[in-house]
Chains A and B, each alone.
Chain A
Amino acid sequence: MDDIDKIIAEYKQTPFEIYDVFTPHTGMVSLMVKKGEKVNSGKKGTLIYTILRQGNLKNIYAPIDGEVVEILEKVDRQFVEAKTKIMSIKHTLSKEEVVNKVLERFLYIFKAPETARYHFTQELNKKIEQKGLQGIIINPGEEILIMSRMKRDIPLIYEGEPGIIYAVYFKSNVTIMQGMPLLGICPPGQVEFISKLVRKIQLEWEKDTT
């Protein structure tokens, strides 16, 4: 079994992740789902619980698609503290998610230093238009992105190892939360290995929905 097969086998063994749901603040919780129930995230996601504090009722929707595998039934209609874990959702990884996890593992991930909007610098944009993303090597000390927050533009300097921009995780008209990935940088010699791995995952991975 070569390295690529080993990596894919690893993910096939645990093709899911468990997402724990915590209360954002104190309040009286009312559970809206039961153990074993399937939930959806997205625009009109599944209402999983409500929390009432000082007369303000907040609806909390499923943050991720999946199945409720654990739920703390004793908190139903009870007052809870902030950051109380009240349920866990098992989310089966899709092909795209496995690819993203693999990329996170092998690439240097340049993360958002602040919650803001991001776009490439004009100079880098021009280079990308001329040579394509993987035709450019970026080096530490280079200005690569502009962070836009509160009507102020701030240039960001790349501080990782020299490499190629393998993945772009942001759109310039979408706010990116602090700590979320912006770019995945690949050492020049690893591009082929990673491309091969990604291609194999895309061919072999099937989402188990049963």
Chain B
Amino acid sequence: MEGLIRDREREIILKNMVQKLKKQEFEQRCAREKGAETVWRRGEIMGAHLWCYHFVPRTMELAKRYIENCYFLRQTPYSGAVFIAQTLNQAQGRYARKWYALSGGLWFSFILYPEVESPYIHLYPLVLGIACCEALREIGINVYIKWVNDLVFNRHKVGGILGETYLSSQKEAYLIFGIGINVNNTLPSTLDIPAISLKEIIGKELNIDLLFSLILIKLIWYIGLVHEAEVKKETHKIIDVWLKYTNILGQKMYYAEDLKTDKKTEVEILGLDPYGGLIVCFCDTEKRETVYSGELAYI
């Protein structure tokens, strides 16, 4: 795209890496699970088209530009298209909070054409967290998921995931997700919440491209699983895995719609509903509720 410098060398490296790991993962899944081939096929669009850049404002905005460019060129935007950058200078977290995306981190976005309907579409944010968590655990980093999909290590944030539905100029909706993981990057000391990089956890630098490839093949599987959930009308495969990877079940935590601006309430985490809603008990009223928005903080 105009004005942005592509890292074509990295694109080739990543495509080759992903190809090798895909074959291994596919064979392992098929050996372990009945019907794995169908699940895999549904998610295989992920990363089939991949663009790497050195320096961009935001990868999610890049994804939107790509969609509009496709319309201009009378082409169809590829579902599963991925955009990675080394550094972002206008990265944002939730509620437009600043996200420090310096060189050394893993920053990427991807688009999905929303083939899955509500309520199953709400599983996407969950499975993205699961995919990242599983990939990190496979390389020996014992991260957990904090609802909805924050990656945490010892209560420190390792990575975050955001999503939005983008309504294009042609009035077609696309899902755009952004994933940011602190790998080898340095974190500023002025952060509002405790955060940590993978390099700090294990004491050495990681191969970012390998990590990305691992995450991508997990995304292929779990995005396929969302489709399967819709077809079979059952979500337990996803919910059970999420519950396995979280460390908040049974815990008391602070909850608010926006922890920076709203009053915090103490809640006890009871579980997840079939579509990812968080079941909590408010400690002050003893009332049980399922929440679908808001954020949690460790006490």
What is the interface of chain A, defined by CB distance below 8 A to chain B? 43-44, 58-59, 61, 114-117, 143, 148-155, 157, 173-175
CB closest chain-A residue, reference B276: A150
Which residues from 251 to 278 on chain B have a C-beta closer than 8 Å to any C-beta of chain A?
256-258, 261-262, 276-277
Q: What 0/1 pattern do residues 282 to 299 of B give for CB contact below 8 A with A?
A: 001111101111100000
Across the interface, do A155 and B293 meet the contact criterion of CB distance under 8 Å? no
Distance A59 CA – B288 CA, assembled complex (angstroms): 10
Find out whether the CB atom of A175 lies under 8 angstroms from the CB atom of B294. yes
B38 within 8 A of A: no
Would you call the interface of chain A mostly helix, strand, loop, or mixed? strand
Cα of A148 to Cα of B94 in the assembled complex, Å: 11
B175 within 8 A of A: yes
Q: Within the complex, which residue of A143, A150, A153 is in contact with B292, where a contact is CB–CB below 8 Å?
A: A150
Range class of the B interface residue count = 20 to 34
Do A150 and B125 have beta carbons less than 8 Å apart? yes
A117/B286 in contact, CB under 8 A? no
Is the CB of B214 closer than 8 A to any CB of chain A?
Answer: no
Q: Are A175 and B291 in contact (CB under 8 A)?
A: yes
Contact at A143–B257, with CB atoms within 8 Å? no
CA–CA, A174 and B261, complex, Å: 12
Q: Is B196 an interface residue (CB 8 A)?
A: no
Question: For residue B285, which residue of chain A has the nearest CB?
Answer: A43
A175-B262 in contact given A59-B286, A153-B163, A154-B165 (Cβ < 8 Å)? no
Task: Indicate whether B153 reaches chain A with its CB closer than 8 angstroms.
Answer: no
Shortest beta-carbon distance from B2 to chain A in Å: 25
A150 touches B167 (CB 8 A): no
State whether the Cβ of B148 lies closer than 8 Å to any Cβ in chain A.
yes
Closest to A141 in B: B171
**Which of B124, B162, B293 has most chain A Cβ within 10 Å?**
B293
